[in-house]
Amino acid sequence: MTFTLVNAVMLGAAALGAWLALRGVPAGRRGPWLRPMLLMLAGLAALTVVFDNLMIAADLFDYGDQHRSGVQLGLAPIEDLAYPLGAAILLPALWVRLRDKGTRR
């Protein structure tokens, strides 16, 4: 199984989770979420690239060549950026959902 396939499943699950979390939340209670989501994505992606490169350079782990797409950012495969993207999709939606539940009490 390739990292791309694993990432596609994970991102699909994150998108489904975000959709389920935001379902039923009135549009007026969702708030401005796009800018914080993009800022969080930029920060998580930058940290992922920096620390993945450091850990790979220190020989803490290695990715099998047969499972990667071949596109890299330094030593780190591009597929590693799917995890911050999944977090940037799912976490703001959960935040809005949990904030909405707290407001309705």
pLDDT in tens, the chain (105 residues): 788 888 999 999 999 998 898 887 787 777 777 777 888 899 999 999 999 999 999 999 887 777 788 889 999 888 889 999 999 988 888 888 887 766 655
What pLDDT does 13 receive? 94
Distance CA 49, CA 72 (A): 10
Which residues of 11-53 form beta strands (DSSP E)? Answer: none
What pLDDT does 105 receive? 53
Q: Is the pTM of this model over 0.85?
A: no
What pLDDT does 3 receive? 86
Give which of 51, 76, 48 is closest to 62, Cα–Cα. Answer: 76
